[in-house]
C-alpha cells in the first residue's frame, strides 16, 4: 500500500474492539451471561468436593442432603449450558455486526479513493483485504474475545476458590500467570512479522488469480500455460513455506509449552503436598480439589494460548484493513450549493503528470462556451484521454485550474458533477446485470425513454436480437456483446442520464461507419443544448466541431475550426492528408 498510516496511534486491537462496542446492550448481555456461565461452571466441581469430603470420606450417608447436592449439581450444569449457548450466540451477532460495519466502511473508503490508487494497486490484492482479511477479523470477536474473557473469569474463580482452600498452594499455581504472560508477549513479537508475510502472500495469490483469469485467453493463445502454472505454484509454495514457519512457532511456544508448564506445576504441587504430609496430616479432599483446580486453572490458560494464533492473525488482518481504511484521501471541500446550469468548460494553464516524472499535460488552456462542440485530436499518447480524466476529476492537476460555469471544478459536490458531466469511454465497463440496468444504472427511468435513447445510440436493433431483449443478463466483461456493441451501450448509458456536458473518449473506435453516422446524428441533435467534448481519430467525426484542438506531446499544437486547420501547415493537415490519401490510393 502506497499510503501507510503514521498518524493513527491507536493500536489495531483497540480499534477492532471499538467495533464491538456499537451494540453495547448486547455486549453487556453477553458478558453477564458469560459471568453466570462461568460461575455455574466453577460451582459444579465445588459441590463434588463437598460431597466427597463431607459425605463419602467420613462415610456419612445422609440421603436427603446427598440428593440436594445432586439436584444443585444438575441445576448448575443446566444453567451453565444454557447461558453458555446464549452468550455464544450474542457474541456471534456482535462479531458479524462488527465485520459488516468494517466491510461497509472499507468499501465506502475504497470507492472514494483517488483513481491513481487503483492504477498502482492490483485489484486482486485489494479484494483480498476487503474480503479475506475482514473474514479473519471475525475470529477475534467470536473465538478470541469471548474465550479470553471467559477464561480470565474462570482463572479468577479458580484462584478465589483455591485461596479459600489453601493460599500457599494457590501461590504455586499463580506462578503460572507471569510465565504464560511472558510467553504470550514473546509469541506476539516473533509471530507478527510472520503473519504479515503470510497474509501478504495470500494477497499476492489473489492478485495473481485475478490477473490470470482476466488474461487467460492471452496466456492460452500464446501457449504460455506451463509457465504461468509454474509461477502460480511457486507463489502457492511460498505461501506454504511462510505458514509452515508460523506452525513451527506455534508448536514451540503455544499449547505444548503451556502443557509442559502445567506438568511442572503439578509436580511442584504434589511434592509440596506430599512433603507436608510426611510430618502433618492433610485433608485428602483438598488434594483432590487441588489437582482438579490445577486442571481447571491450566485449561483456560491453554485455551487462551490456543487462540493466540487466531488473535495474532486477526490483528495482522486488522492492520491490513485499517491501512486501506486510513489511506488518506485528499479532501476537496465542495460547496453543496454549486450548480452546473449551462455547461461552460474552462481549463486554465493545466499541468499534469501521473508519476511526477513524465509530464503528460503541459500548460493546456481551453474554453468551451456552453452548448458548443469541441474536439481534441492528436497522435496516441498525446494526452487526449488524460485531459478528459482531469475534467472528470479522476485526477487533480498539479498546476492550473479547471472551471465549469465559472466555478472551480472542486467546488462541485460529487452528485452534482456526476449528474452534469457524462462520459462514453473507449473500453466501457459492463456490470453483471441486465441490459436495462446497464443502461439506467439502476435508476428509475421509464421504458419509452430507455428505448428511445437506445435507438439514438444505434443500440436498439442489437438488443432486439438478444434472447431476452432488455432483460438479457450481461456477464462480467460483457462477453455476450461485441466490443462495438459495448460502445453503443455506453453511449446509451451516457445519453439516458441527460448530462449538461458530454465527453466522448474514442467512443466509436470499434463501430462501423454506418452505425457511427447514426450516433453522429444523435449528437448533432444535442448541439446547442449540451456541451460536447469529443476525442476521435476519425476526422470525419469531428469536422463539424466549433473548435478543434490538436494535441502533441501534452501541448496544444494547433487550434481552430476544421476549415481553418486544413489550410494551416501542421499536424492536422498531416493527419488529414493521411486519411484522404488512403482513400485516394485506389
Partner 1 sequence: MIILQKLSWFFRLYWKRYAIAFVALLVISCLAMVAPWITGQLVDSIANDTLTYEHLIEEIALLLGIGIVIYGLRVLWRRQLYGASFKLAALMRGKIYDHMTLMAPGFFQRHHTGDLMARATNDVTAVEMTAGEAILALFDGVMTGVVVLIMMVVMVSWKLTLLALLPWPVMGYFMWKFGHQMHDTFSEAQRQFSLLNDKTQENITGIRLIKAFGQQPQMERAYSDVTRDVSAANLAVAKVEAKYDPVIYLTVSTSFFLAVAGGAWLIYQDELTIGELTTFTMYLTFLIWPMFAYGWTLNLIERGSAAHTRIDELLQTTPAISNDGARNSVESTHIDASIKRFAYEENNDVLHNINFQIIPGSTFGIVGHTGSGKSTLIQLLLRMHEGSETTICFDHHDIKTYRLETLRSQFGLVPQDPFLFSVTIAENIALGCPEASLDEVRAAAKLACIDDEIMNFPEQYSTLVGERGITLSGGQKQRIAIARALLIDPPVLIFDDALSAVDLNTERQILAHIKTARRGRSNIIVCHRLSAVLEADEIIVLRHGTIEERGRHTQLLQLNGWYAQMFRYQQIEAAVQHG
Q: Which of residues 155-184 bind partner 1 (CB under 8 A)?
A: none
| Angstrom distance (rounded) from CA 46 to CA 72 | 11
Site string for partner 1, 524-563 (x = CB under 8 A): -------------xxxx--x------------------xx
Which one of 151-159, 179-187, 327-335, 373-381 is the stretch in contact with partner 1 (CB under 8 A)? Answer: 373-381
298, three cell numbers: 491450566
Helix, strand, or coil (residue 347): strand
- Among 224, 341, 398, 399, contact with partner 1 (rule: CB under 8 A): 224
**Site for partner 1 contains 584 (CB under 8 A):** yes
- Among 30, 140, 142, 366, contact with partner 1 (rule: CB under 8 A): 142
- Among 33, 34, 46, 126, contact with partner 1 (rule: CB under 8 A): 126
- Among 33, 42, 80, 183, contact with partner 1 (rule: CB under 8 A): 80
**Site for partner 1 contains 148 (CB under 8 A):** no
**Site for partner 1 contains 417 (CB under 8 A):** yes
Residue 452 CB, nearest distance to partner 1 (Å)? 19
Name which of residues 291 to 350 contact partner 1 (CB under 8 A): 291-292, 295
Measured from the Cβ of residue 347, the count of other Cβ atoms closer than 10 Å reads 21
Measured from the Cβ of residue 455, the count of other Cβ atoms closer than 10 Å reads 15
Residue 457 CB, nearest distance to partner 1 (Å)? 11
Terminal Cα-to-Cα distance of the chain (whole angstroms):
56
Residue 9 CB, nearest distance to partner 1 (Å)? 28
- Among 3, 131, 341, 471, contact with partner 1 (rule: CB under 8 A): 131
**Site for partner 1 contains 223 (CB under 8 A):** yes
Residue (185 or 429) nearer to partner 1, CB? 429
Please, are residues 262 and 309 in contact by the beta-carbon 8 Å criterion? no
Residue (322 or 572) nearer to partner 1, CB? 572
The DSSP bridge partners found for residue 373 are 532
Q: What is the 3-state secondary structure (H, E, C) of 33-102?
A: HHHHHHHHHHHHHHHHHHHHHHHHCCCCCCHHHHHHHHHHHHHHHHHHHHHHHHHHHHHHHHHHHHHHHH
Residue 17 CB, nearest distance to partner 1 (Å)? 18
Reported as half-sphere exposure (CB side, CA atoms, 13 A), residue 359 has a value of: 12
Residue 292 CB, nearest distance to partner 1 (Å)? 7
Residue with cell 453543496: 336
3-state helix, strand, coil in the chain (%, to 5): 65, 10, 25
The DSSP letter of residue 372 is -
Q: What b/e string do you get for 282-314 counting C-beta neighbours within 10 Å, with b at 16 or more?
A: eeebbbbbbeebbebbbbbbbbbbbbbbbbbbb
- Among 111, 178, 444, 447, contact with partner 1 (rule: CB under 8 A): 111
**Site for partner 1 contains 574 (CB under 8 A):** yes
**Site for partner 1 contains 515 (CB under 8 A):** yes
439, three cell numbers: 443502461
The DSSP bridge partners found for residue 362 are 351
Residue 326 CB, nearest distance to partner 1 (Å)? 18
- Among 28, 68, 167, 252, contact with partner 1 (rule: CB under 8 A): 252
Amino acid at each position: 500500500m502506497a499510503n501507510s498510516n503514521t498518524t493513527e496511534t491507536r493500536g489495531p486491537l483497540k480499534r477492532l474492539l471499538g467495533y464491538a462496542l456499537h451494540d453495547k446492550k448486547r455486549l453487556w448481555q453477553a458478558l453477564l451471561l458469560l459471568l453466570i456461565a462461568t460461575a455455574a461452571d466453577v460451582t459444579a466441581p465445588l459441590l463434588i468436593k463437598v460431597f466427597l469430603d463431607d459425605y463419602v470420606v467420613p462415610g456419612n450417608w445422609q440421603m436427603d442432603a446427598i440428593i440436594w447436592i445432586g439436584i444443585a449439581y444438575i441445576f448448575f450444569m443446566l444453567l451453565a449450558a444454557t447461558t453458555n449457548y446464549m452468550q455464544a450466540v450474542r457474541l456471534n451477532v456482535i462479531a458479524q455486526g462488527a465485520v459488516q460495519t468494517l466491510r461497509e466502511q472499507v468499501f465506502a473508503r475504497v470507492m472514494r479513493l483517488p483513481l491513481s490508487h487503483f492504477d498502482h494497486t492490483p485489484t486482486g490484492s485489494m479484494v483480498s483485504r476487503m474480503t479475506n482479511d475482514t473474514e479473519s477479523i471475525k475470529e477475534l470477536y467470536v473465538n478470541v474475545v469471548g474465550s479470553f474473557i471467559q477464561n480470565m473469569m474462570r482463572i479468577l474463580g479458580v484462584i478465589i476458590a483455591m485461596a479459600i482452600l489453601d493460599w500457599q498452594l494457590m501461590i504455586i499455581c499463580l506462578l503460572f500467570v507471569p510465565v504464560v504472560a511472558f510467553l504470550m508477549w514473546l509469541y506476539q513479537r516473533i509471530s507478527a512479522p510472520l503473519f504479515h508475510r503470510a497474509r501478504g502472500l495470500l494477497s499476492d495469490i489473489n492478485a495473481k488469480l485475478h490477473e490470470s483469469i482476466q488474461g487467460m485467453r492471452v496466456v492460452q493463445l500464446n501457449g504460455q500455460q506451463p509457465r504461468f502454472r509454474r509461477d502460480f505454484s511457486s507463489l502457492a509454495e511460498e505461501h506454504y513455506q511462510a505458514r509452515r514457519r508460523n506452525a513451527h512457532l506455534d508448536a514451540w511456544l503455544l499449547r505444548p509449552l503451556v502443557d509442559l508448564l502445567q506438568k511442572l506445576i503439578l509436580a511442584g504441587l504434589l511434592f509440596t503436598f506430599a512433603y507436608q504430609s510426611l510430618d502433618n496430616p492433610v485433608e485428602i479432599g483438598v488434594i483432590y480439589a487441588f489437582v482438579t483446580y490445577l486442571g481447571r486453572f491450566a485449561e483456560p490458560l491453554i485455551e487462551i494460548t490456543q487462540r493466540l494464533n487466531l488473535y495474532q492473525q486477526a490483528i495482522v488482518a486488522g492492520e491490513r484493513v485499517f491501512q486501506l481504511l486510513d489511506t488518506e484521501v485528499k479532501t476537496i471541500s465542495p460547496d453543496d450549493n454549486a450548480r452546473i446550469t449551462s455547461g461552460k468548460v474552462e481549463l486554465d494553464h493545466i499541468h499534469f503528470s501521473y508519476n511526477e516524472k513524465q509530464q503528460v499535460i503541459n500548460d493546456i488552456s481551453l474554453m468551451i462556451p456552453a452548448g458548443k462542440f469541441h474536439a481534441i485530436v492528436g497522435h496516441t499518447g498525446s494526452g487526449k484521454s488524460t485531459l478528459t480524466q482531469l475534467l472528470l476529476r479522476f485526477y487533480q492537476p498539479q498546476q492550473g485550474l479547471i472551471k465549469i460555469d465559472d466555478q472551480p471544478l472542486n467546488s462541485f459536490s460529487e452528485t452534482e458533477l456526476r449528474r452534469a458531466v457524462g462520459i462514453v469511454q473507449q473500453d466501457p465497463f459492463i456490470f453483471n446485470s441486465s441490459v436495462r440496468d446497464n443502461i439506467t444504472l439502476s435508476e428509475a427511468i421509464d421504458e419509452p425513454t430507455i428505448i428511445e435513447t437506445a435507438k439514438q445510440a444505434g443500440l436498439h436493433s442489437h438488443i432486439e436480437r438478444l434472447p431476452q431483449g432488455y432483460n438479457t443478463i450481461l456477464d462480467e466483461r460483457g462477453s455476450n456483446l461485441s466490443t462495438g456493441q459495448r460502445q453503443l451501450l455506453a453511449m446509451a448509458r451516457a445519453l439516458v442520464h441527460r448530462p449538461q456536458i458530454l465527453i466522448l473518449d474514442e467512443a466509436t473506435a470499434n463501430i462501423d461507419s454506418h452505425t457511427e453516422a447514426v450516433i453522429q446524428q444523435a449528437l448533432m441533435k444535442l448541439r446547442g443544448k449540451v456541451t460536447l467534448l469529443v476525442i476521435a481519430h476519425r476526422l470525419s467525426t469531428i469536422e463539424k466541431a466549433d473548435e478543434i484542438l490538436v494535441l502533441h506531446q501534452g501541448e496544444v499544437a494547433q487550434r481552430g475550426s476544421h476549415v481553418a486547420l486544413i489550410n494551416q501547415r501542421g499536424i492536422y493537415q498531416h493527419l488529414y492528408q493521411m486519411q484522404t490519401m488512403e482513400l485516394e490510393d485506389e
